[in-house]
Amino acid sequence: MGIEENKDLVRRYFEEIDRRGEVSVIDDFVSPDFVDHGPSPGCTPDREGLKQAFEMFRTGSPGTHRIDDILAEGDKVVVRVTGEGVHEGELFGIPPTNRPMKVTGITILRVEDGQIVERWVEVDMLGALQQLGVIPEDQSAV
């Protein structure tokens, strides 16, 4: 697959996560040999761990993704993404706050034979925890 096909695959992956909201999306786009170099807390660094994270976010803060930027070179696709939702269920051990969340992140995905095989991710966890009220937004109060 070429660069444009890889970018299209990643776009469709995020679109299907939002449209279908089912863990089966993972099986459709992610290789059984997937390796996650930055798994979500409490999740394993493989495809099953990605499914765990999917379920955790689907039930804890259902919402949508917006791709803000997408770049590709070789077999890697870089996505700057914004996720928006409402904290309706337990998330990272934090009871529901019913607060809206808007979290940004950058994900690098490696694509091989039409499937996502590796992921590196950086997410604004400080911002997320501040939005949930776990960490004060005014750091001078700390």
What CA–CA distance (Å, rounded) separates 70 from 80?
6
Rounded to 5°, the CA angle 48-63-28 comes to 35
Q: Whole-model pTM?
A: 0.90
Burial of 119-129, coded b for 16+ CB within 10 Å and e otherwise, reads bebebbeebbb
125 contacts: CB under 8 Å, gap ≥ 6: none
Give pLDDT tens digits for 60-104. 999 999 999 999 999 999 999 999 999 999 988 899 999 999 999
The residues facing 111 across adjacent strands are 116
Distance separating alpha carbons of residues 101 and 86, to the nearest angstrom? 6
Q: Is 142's pLDDT higher than 70?
A: no
Cα 89 from Cα 96, distance rounded (Å): 5
- Residue 89, φ and ψ in degrees, nearest 5: -140, 175
- For range 100-109, the mean pLDDT: 96
